[in-house]
């Protein structure tokens, strides 16, 4: 997604909140002018994105705030566009956890695409085959309170009924589990965290789109297109869960690179 559109999303989202009172009719309902704030032009599928984060697999990682996140045993969805370099060991795309006692990790578990529990390192869903083509892929993990589901490029590749943890994450990590282990090598773009279980149809339909402003249940949305912010990246969900690259240490910061993730801009 372009820098211009990312900025537009944030501005329109904030405007929608601040202007709600003056955009209501006399009966308290929405006025006809609401569409001017909440509706955006259609987004074309398959357009090139702006920037992605490039992780070196050695020391690069990022962290984020967790305002509005729900317990990992509650309905949730994690989405990410990524390409990766398969290697021995485990690589995390995104980790939501409370210490080492609760949480979920999404990434490559000993070379297998999947999602697994932080506690006891147990896979809950996994792809039957993991692409090794250096291409961009969309990965989504959902949990509806009963069933864990894994989607690859909009198609469900696994579903399992496994007990989930139930503690709200207190830390969010990108490209690692804790800043030093499970370090990711590859690129990452368009990361979204929801407090609702997105359906398969929603995942498939929306993976090529940018969410049009604030959306119910969207608590984190990172495009990484705001390169002007240097060591930080804005959360365009409006929740304020901004990303800090490498804990502010230049040597640990993933770099911003031009993204070829097929997301409409």
For 69-99, write each residue's pLDDT tens digit.
999 889 999 999 999 988 889 999 999 999 9
Q: pTM of this prediction?
A: 0.82
Q: Provide the pLDDT for residue 91.
A: 97
Among 18-27, 200-209, 235-244, which stretch is predicted with the lowest mean pLDDT?
18-27
Give the chain's mean pLDDT: 83
Number of residues in the chain: 265
Contacts with 151 (C-beta within 8 Å, 6 or more apart), sequence order:
138, 139, 140, 141, 142, 157, 200, 203, 204
Domain ranges of the chain: 3-258
Average pLDDT on 205-231 reads 87
When mean pLDDT is compared over 95-99, 163-167, 225-229, the highest value belongs to 95-99
Give the CA distances from residue 81 to residues 68, 102, 140, 240, in Å, rounded to whole numbers and listed in that order: 22, 25, 9, 21
Average pLDDT on 21-34 reads 32
Q: Provide the pLDDT for residue 93.
A: 98
Q: Provide the pLDDT for residue 248.
A: 95
Instruction: Name the fold adopted by 3-258.
Output: Jelly Rolls (2.60.120)
Task: Kindly indicate the confidence band of residue 27, based on its pLDDT and cuts at 50, 70 and 90.
Answer: very low
Contacts with 77 (C-beta within 8 Å, 6 or more apart), sequence order:
140, 141, 142, 143, 192, 193, 194, 196, 197, 198, 203
- pLDDT top residue among 108 and 165: 108
Give the CA distances from residue 178 to residues 33, 84, 103, 248, in Å, rounded to whole numbers and listed in that order: 47, 19, 12, 15
Query: Distance between CA atoms of 222 and 140, rounded to whole angstroms?
Result: 15
Q: What does 151-177 look like in DSSP terms, one character per residue? A: EETTEEEEEE---------SEEEESSS
C-beta of residue 109 within 8 angstroms of C-beta of residue 116: yes
Percent of the chain at pLDDT exceeding 90: 69
């Amino acid at each position: 997604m372009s820098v211009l559109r990312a900025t537009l999303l944030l501005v329109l989202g904030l405007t929608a909140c601040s202007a709600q009172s003056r955009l209501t009719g006399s009966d308290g309902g929405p006025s006809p002018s609401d569409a001017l704030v909440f509706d955006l032009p259609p987004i074309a599928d398959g357009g090139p994105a702006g920037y992605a984060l490039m992780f070196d697999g050695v020391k690069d990682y990022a962290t984020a705030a967790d305002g509005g996140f729900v317990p990992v045993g509650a309905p949730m969805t994690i989405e990410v566009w990524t390409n990766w370099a398969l290697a021995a060991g485990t690589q995390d795309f995104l980790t939501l956890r409370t210490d080492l006692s609760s949480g979920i990790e999404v990434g490559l578990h000993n070379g297998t695409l999947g999602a697994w529990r932080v506690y006891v390192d147990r896979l809950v869903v996994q792809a039957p085959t993991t692409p090794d083509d250096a291409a961009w892929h969309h990965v989504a993990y959902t949990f509806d309170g009963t069933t864990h589901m894994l989607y690859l490029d909009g198609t469900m590749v696994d579903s399992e009924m496994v007990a989930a943890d139930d503690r709200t994450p207190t830390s969010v990590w990108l490209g690692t589990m804790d800043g030093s282990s499970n370090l990711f090598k590859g690129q990452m773009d368009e990361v979204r965290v929801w407090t609702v279980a997105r359906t398969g149809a929603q995942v498939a339909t929306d993976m090529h789109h940018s969410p049009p402003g604030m959306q119910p249940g969207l608590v984190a949305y990172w495009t990484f297109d705001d390169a002007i912010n240097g060591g930080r990246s804005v959360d365009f969900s409006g929740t304020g869960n901004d990303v800090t690259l490498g804990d502010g240490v230049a040597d640990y910061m993933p770099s911003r690179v031009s993204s070829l993730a097929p997301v409409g801009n």
